[in-house]
Structure 1
Amino acid sequence: MDSHSRMVQFLKVVLPLAAIVLLSTVFLLSRSIETDVTVPFTQRDIEERLADQVVTNPSYRGTTRKGEEVLIEATQATQGTENSVPTASEFQGRLGLLNGGIITLDSNSGTIRPDKNTATFVGDVVITTTDGIRVTTDHLNTALDEIRGDTPGQIDGTGAIGDFSAGRMTFGAEKKDGPVHILFTDGVKLIYQPQQAER
């Protein structure tokens, strides 16, 4: 047997042994797994969430019969009890119209009832549209199965023609498959600003 053959036989034995030694050192020298992981909530937060059954960042997404988009989101929501309905904080909505327009809804809190196809925005409600209308009110009722809503109380707003107020506002389609219109009623007052309208 020549020296080359001896070297090959030697390496056939040495190399696998060296691989086994290297592999075993990887496992022996590896760091231990840290099992004491910190949770980004205090014990009190966890107890409150379990007691109140709080859901973080809930969202509802749906489509109306006509294909319009309805999106409702919140920072957190609590499950209702026998005497109260579920409530959510920092309640936000986005209604996508078929013509490309968008109605955005923001409020301090609100409730959503998919079983009744309704969502209610409460406290510092701000309604804005892509064509420049901005309305503020205290309470807004909306539907989930179509683009429709109403404010049972006073509204204040601003738009292309100036500032206005009214005792009530409704929005929705006047006809079954018609476009969405916004209607102000119950004592409408308008401060007309012609310079602003010309822009």
Structure 2
Amino acid sequence: MQKYIILFSLLFIISCNSQDKRPIPGETAYQKKLNANYKDASKSPLKKNDLKKFKGLEFFPVDSTYIVTAKLTRTENAPVFEMATTTDRKPLYKEYGKLNFTLKGKDLELTIYQSQEDTLDEKYKNYLFLPFTDNTSGDESYGGGRYMDVMTTDISAENTVVLNFNNTYNPYCAYNDKYSCPLTPRKNHLDIKIKAGIKIFKKHSLF
């Protein structure tokens, strides 16, 4: 009888381990990496109850038409300013430049920013911050807007850079109100539906 108990215990442990090692969901390497981070309790912004039920983030279908080349016009002598957030926190940013591009036949513009705190961090010094809202915001995507990271090292000598709207993410505030998140400036609203990248976080998507 004892050997059956031991065998059952071993099978139970193997079963648990196999569940923990389920493949990370996602169509692309970017989506898989984001899902892996959100599944990791040491990195995830999810609340404890949501983390327990976490299956994976929801994305629009990957669409190559939302990968565009933008022309960067740098902002000379831009002043440092306090960016509004969802709390009283006022992080310091500079306007880095304007990005002009064509998407779905429309000429569009976004302002891109540089965190002054990031410039002091070796790990993030090359990161630029691109927040935006669009005509899916508040419906299919998070109402406060979505973010995209752009690297200064990805800007060409001709001052062009590729924007991949499939690789967007939500501010942590979309998942947990304990976080303080920069608010998307009004001028960064795109009068078009960006049906690519991360979708709004819905509780019913968890199991």
TM-score w.r.t. length of structure 1: 0.27
Higher strand share: 1
The two structures have a TM-score, normalised by structure 2, of 0.26
Report the structure number with the largest CA radius of gyration: 1
Q: Which has the higher contact order (CA 8 A, sep 6+)?
A: 2
Please state which structure has a larger fraction of its residues in helix. 2
